[in-house]
Structure 1
Amino acid sequence: MAFINRKYKDSVFTDLFGSDIKAKKNFLELYNALSGNDYKLNEVSLERKVIEQSLYKTFNNDVSWEIDGKLIVLVEHQSTINENMPFRCLEYVTRIYEGIVPLQKRYAEKVYKIPNPDFYVVYVGKDKQPLEQELHLSDAFYKKDSSKLELVVKVKNCSDSRSLPISRNCDILKQYCQFIEIVEQTFNKRSPRRSFKKAIDIAISEGILSDYLNRKTREVINMLCAKYDYKMDIAVKKEEAFQDGMEAKAIEAAVTLVQKYNVSPETAAKDMDAPLDKVLEKINS
């Protein structure tokens, strides 16, 4: 039976680096490793920035913090790297700025200061990718010219905990990747909850995220169930669409995924091999 609980809409990544009681410490360790900075927890101001997901469905695994006047947006990718990420980050950061700048200040003569943005994708998928790469908003323009609008997303490949380039100075991310590997290895689609509990027990016994997993065993199982329900739903719906041989079935399935799992239309269309324009048309009809 398909399962998703709105209380557990966060992924483990989002919870670990965004919502958990130790998220500030975890985030700062990760950001220092990604950026090369050396911020100390007791020396900086940190504030979580969250967009209401019921109003904005593009990002599900985002972690956004303002740190000493700088806005950091981290996004986890577990399958393929989306080359539309710069545009999606543009949409996302605009929503955050709307929440920062009071409406009346937008029309004032004096400039209202906003935090400098920095964007990272933490890639933990299985496809072969460079250790580091950049995605540019300008790559989406019809023609590259002297246009002043640009947004750069830095993609860090953290898919293998054994060769993780930043593992030496980011133990929490290394442990997270190790845990995800254990989850993948032990997953059993016939008894997912039992397999997730087994993965948690193995991780704890090996000292991987042991404090976090001991505190939040039930929550982590629910978050993993939501994620894997989506993956299994995709497999079922793709098989149905293939058997029916109908594009319309794939489009319908993609729309259902958007509504049921709060994923973006782009993600659902790609996962279902459905034309994005027709998925969007169906959603907006």
Structure 2
Amino acid sequence: MSEELHANRKHKDTVFRMLYSDKRAILELYNALNGTDYQNPDDLTVTTLENAVYMAMKNDVSFLLDERMTLYEHQSTWNPNMPLRDLIYIARLMEKYVNKRSLYQSGQIRLPAPHFVVFYNGKEEKPEDATIKLSDAYLQKEEEPELELKVRYLNINQGCNRELMERCRTLREYSEFVSRIRKYAVGETAIGEAVDRAVTECIKEGILADFLRGQRAEVIAMSIFEYNEEEEMRKLREGEHQIGKEEGKAEGKAEGKVEGKAESVLEVLELYGQVPEYAEKRILEEDDIKLLSVWLKEAAKAGSVEGFLEKTGLKEDQNG
């Protein structure tokens, strides 16, 4: 391969992706899944596409090792369309891999064998180990489809896939970290408080300690964002079964959702420092749930209150 594929460094917007931006962590997970014992991170070439935001798709990590092209993805919702997504993504990866070599040459172009794994830790009860196929979506069912792609789904919630967890400390501790956030985010407890408590405890107990200590603010911000997105998706799915409900009830739920999203934006920003009164007022007054979702994502990535205000244009409101 004459041109090395580039790592995705711009879109580390989930804790899982942040955690597995480290080659050593990827290698540990690969060994645990495949029964191998690779020790040298330089044996691994990260191939995650830089600009794979087309079709709203971003792969968490893909890499070359052992003559395989492996794609790992973390999800908190079960997605039956993963085979189609991976088909589109792997086609682009293979195109980059062969680079400028002619597909009409007489010699066969040798390719790495693709493998697809999704690590699931949503709240819905799902099997520990399952495979979903591209052919499951075909309108015309065939015994031997001419185009097939299989995605392995592994449940990484606590208590699931114990052998894998024993072999992979990083994955086991990530599962514990997520479990604690969910445990503490109950009742009236603010998600920010729950995440902060989980991070503090995990550091004290040596659970992802170096990672959490080194990137505490970013991890807390991203965890709040991820939790809210997960809850939003859950409510959306529930809403699909509630279409026949009264309008008044639906409006009440919508208002509560908007208020909760605005408060989440402020929770994230307060991790960086004091939020100006004018900005707090503007955020709390916003009633567009889509805009609030955008602000929440920007807050998680901003790194500072000032950076958030400049990125969103809210800084201009000070003189408005």
Taking the aligned partners of 2:137 and 2:202, their CA distance within structure 1 comes to 42
Say if 2:212 and 2:219, in contact at 8 Å, map to a contact too.
Answer: yes
1-side partners of 2:296 and 2:86: how far apart? 20
Q: 2:119 aligns with which of 115, 122, 141?
A: 122
Please report how far the alpha carbon of residue 208 of structure 1 lies from its aligned counterpart in structure 2 after TM superposition: 0.7
Q: Which amino acid aligns with 2:26?
A: F
Q: Give the Å deviation of 1:204.
A: 0.8
Aligned-residue offset at 1:228: 3.2
In structure 2, the partner of 1:75 is: 73
SS in 1 for 2:40: helix
User: Which aligned pairs between 1:1-285 and structure 2 lie closer than 5 A?
Assistant: 9-17=12-20, 19=21, 23-35=22-34, 37-42=35-40, 45-53=43-51, 55-60=53-58, 62-79=60-77, 81-141=78-138, 142-161=140-159, 164-187=162-185, 191-231=190-230, 242-243=250-251
Using structure 2 for the length normalisation, give the TM-score.
0.65
Instruction: Tell me, yes or no, if the aligned pair for 1:33 and 1:166 is still in contact at 8 Å.
Output: yes
Equivalent AA in structure 1 for residue 134 of structure 2 = L
Cα distance per residue 1:148-191 (max 9 Å; x no partner): 21111111122114763412211111100000011122237874
- Rounded Cα–Cα distance in structure 1 between residues aligned with 2:292 and 2:104: 40
User: CA contact under 8 A between 1:203 and 1:210: conserved in structure 2?
Assistant: yes
> Secondary structure of the residue that 1:166 maps to in structure 2?
helix
Residue-by-residue CA offset, 1:89-109 (whole Å, 9 max, x unaligned): 111111211222214534444
> 2:248 & 2:92 partners in 1: Cα distance?
37
Using the aligned pairs only, state the percent identity.
30
Q: Is the 8 A contact 1:176 1:209 kept in 2?
A: yes
| Residues in 2 aligned to 1:169 and 1:8: alpha-carbon distance in whole angstroms | 28
- Aligned partners of 1:125, 1:63: CA distance in 2, in Å? 19
Q: Distance in 2 between matches of 1:199 and 1:38?
A: 32
Answer whether contact 1:8 1:219 (CA < 8 A) is retained.
no
Per-residue deviation, 1:76: 1.2
Q: CA deviation at 1:72?
A: 0.7
- 1:8, 1:223 within 8 Å by CA — same for their partners in 2? no
Deviation of the 1:56 alpha carbon: 2.4
TM-score, normalised to structure 1, is 0.72
Q: What is the CA-CA distance between 1:119 and the residue it aligns to?
A: 0.7
Mapped partners of 1:96, 1:232: distance in 2: 32
Task: Find the counterpart in structure 2 of residue 283 from structure 1.
Answer: none
From the superposition, tell whether residues 50 and 258 of structure 1 become closer, same or farther in structure 2 (CA, over 3 Å): farther
Contact 2:128 2:161 in 1 (8 A): no
* SS of residue in 2 equivalent to 1:128: coil
Q: 1:73 is paired with a residue of what secondary structure?
A: strand
Q: Secondary structure at the match of 1:120?
A: strand
**Compared with structure 1, are the counterparts of its residues 7 and 91 closer, same or farther at alpha carbon in structure 2 (3 Å cutoff)?**
closer
Give 3-state SS (helix, strand or coil) of 1:207's partner.
coil
- Counterpart-to-counterpart distance in 1, 2:170 and 2:154: 15
- Note the aligned Cα RMSD (angstroms): 3.6
CA–CA distance in structure 1, aligned partners of residues 165 and 235 of structure 2:
36
How many aligned residue pairs are there? 245
- The alpha-carbon distance between structure 1 residues 224 and 61, as it changes in their structure 2 partners (threshold 3 A), is farther
Unaligned runs of 5+ in 2: 1-8, 240-246, 254-287, 298-320
Output the CA distance in 2 between the equivalents of 1:102 and 1:7.
Answer: 23
Name the CA distance, whole Å, in 2 between partners of 1:260 and 1:91: 29
* CA contact 2:48–2:62 (8 Å) conserved in 1: yes
Shift of the alpha carbon at 1:32? Answer: 2.0
CA distance in 2, matches of 1:50, 1:225: 25
Q: Which has the higher contact order (CA 8 A, sep 6+)?
A: 1
